[in-house]
Chains A and B, each alone.
Chain A
């Protein structure tokens, strides 16, 4: 099998021959039926990296031959070392998107809802420093494409995790719970509350009054608290429901969060 592959690759290998003689010599000297990639690597680690680089430039490349897709899924496509994540820890090479890596993993977090204290911004910027398309233009076309996808995914992950509502929806999705954001609500209590909020917002005379609805306490009578407080409450009840795996309750909390968030946006628009 190894031989056949080599034969198919011959025109390509000839091209390599022009640029670097040793290429062919090594390949042909290593003709054994069962090709063990790691052995080659032990012997000629630098050589392999070089061949791969060249292969990328020529488009049709020795990928099926030298890349480790055949070897191990978790290792780097370029140097085949290390357990590669978004970026190979060994050769700094950007990896293709692996959808089994969830957003929490990207940020090195446990898969849980309450991550308020974490410094996402720093990790986000550290990733972008390695992945952002602006910084990888000296690399191969293939790696640039990986970087573009990974960078976009990190942006999305950051956006999703920093917002409590989208984080809640995302975590439920990871639990295979479907969230229908546009469903009609039949919760009478919530509906009346929303109507009340809307009325108060419409009646609010100035931005001072609006700010009060939004965040300040004081003028509110029994049981009525400002929108931001309500949002946080729902967020807490979501965390509780999620922990005890009560998904129906978790969904209800998301519904409330969605509505409070919208109400808050309305207020901000009017401010």
Chain B
């Protein structure tokens, strides 16, 4: 049998298993790309080790500066001063921008960043540019991320004295599958192969599982099941997960996430300090950007200080006659950000409810991420979980990357003689996946928090007499109507035999495998009719447009409705 000469990797096929298997598998490194900070860790044969850059830092700022067309990222480059990052030449917060269209409120909120974010509000990718020699140089979040990843990779290769190709990356729970493909694209641009994309709190769960297993070994205990609630809030996102761990195996019971984080706290406070901020900075001139930067740094410092102090003085001269001078106290900061804190509260409550657990059932409450130092955030978590003590066995800034490094070692097939890698995380889907049916309703086929790998099917039927074609629109999300969810892709089923409406049976099956690849199978249940197998997502940029165009062209001509399910329990 002839060896296959070559394999063509499909465009979207950047995940999946390694094709070449050598006797000594390369240990995948773990990378935590935060909205504001980033870190790399690897299993060094006996434990997880965080890699330090040439300046001996474990945490590096996530940004890329464009200078004279040669970009440099925050891995090697050290800024002379915080203000340099705000000169217009540095692009940051790419994790908030990646894979979002210009109608997204998160993109609109990013317009107050000290670089250029332009929108047309029609559902296409936003225009992003950095200021280089008084010129706006356009870029994309993928490019910025790739430049940054190249630096991280180079740093890791120097430290490990070997080529680095395989990585495990942590991602926010609320990322859509489309956003995941953008992350994969950025990695591919940087020459990295994504072994796993792990929701951040599940990486923390893995670290927790390892710690529990170690302590049960020490106590010679039986290692009974322990339930932990993990709350992770960084600069860009807030995630909650509930995990049940026994003997190194963690089952993710529920996941909840939202695009809310330190950046929102910062922007709310900036607007509070300077209510007409948006008007002042709208023109994006060099002076405006500088002022924007000044305000940003001052506000950021104030928030940091308020974690330990009750009040903080703010004195700021923006240079155009606008002067700020006031004493900000913690209560005021908390009042301004009431909405953000309420969202955090709602996320924890929802996660407990989805896991069908009461606060009393939780053994350990773990809080990680940059915002875990904010007193109000800690208060919320402790009061909902009804306890005085939080789990203290982890460094809040390093937990996610350590978990990712563990997963990297486990997924590379490394074993440890002391059993420190006898770990397994059984993941669950963070968002529901379904199709448009019954008008513009979203009908989930795989529900949120379903254990993966999973395969589910449901039967649909036609809405018109003699309807011979049906459009299958695949969406992801947890809202009732499709407009509020993410379109993942679409395809048409043809050749439905003419029959009165409601008679033909269209089977739609969804399958998520262990590498989190989603495939949709659909077809008419008739002998001899071929089924479609479609790998999702199929839409590229501007999927907001696609949905509108589809609706305009086809209306409800090719709709489907649900048939009461028979095949499911």
Contact = CB atoms under 8 A, between A and B. Distances in A.
A152 B453 contact: yes
A58 interface: yes
Interface string B172-187: 0000000000000000
B453 A148 contact: yes
A268 interface: yes
A129 to B, nearest CB: 6
Contacts of B513: 133, 148
A181 B454 CA distance: 22
Contacts of B514: 132-134, 148, 151
Interface stretch (B258-266, B331-339, B561-569): B561-569
Interface in A248-271: 268, 271
A122 B249 CA distance: 10
Interface string A141-177: 0000000100110010001100101100110000000
Interface residue range, chain B: 20 to 34
Contact of B410 (A11, A58, A122, A135): A135
B424 A128 contact: yes
A169 B568 CA distance: 10
Contacts, number: 75
Given A128-B424, A148-B453, A137 B1 contact: no
A58 B225 CA distance: 42
A166 B17 contact: no
Contacts of A58: 1
A138 interface: yes
A259 to B, nearest CB: 15
Given A121-B225, A148-B513, A160-B569, A182 B564 contact: yes
B537 interface: no
Main secondary structure of the interface of A (DSSP, over half): helix
A60 interface: yes
A125 interface: yes
B413 A155 contact: no
Given A137-B411, A170-B569, A155 B454 contact: yes
B453 A60 contact: no
The 7 closest A-B pairs by CB, nearest first: A133-B514, A166-B569, A125-B249, A182-B564, A138-B413, A155-B451, A60-B1
Interface of A: 11-12, 58-60, 121-122, 124-126, 128-129, 132-135, 137-138, 148, 151-152, 155, 159-160, 163, 165-166, 169-170, 180-182, 268, 271
18 contacts: A121-B246, A125-B246, A125-B247, A128-B249, A132-B424, A132-B426, A133-B513, A133-B515, A134-B425, A135-B410, A135-B424, A148-B514, A151-B514, A152-B454, A159-B451, A160-B569, A165-B569, A170-B569
Given A122-B246, A125-B246, A126-B247, 6 more contacts: A59-B1, A60-B1, A128-B424, A152-B455, A165-B569, A181-B569
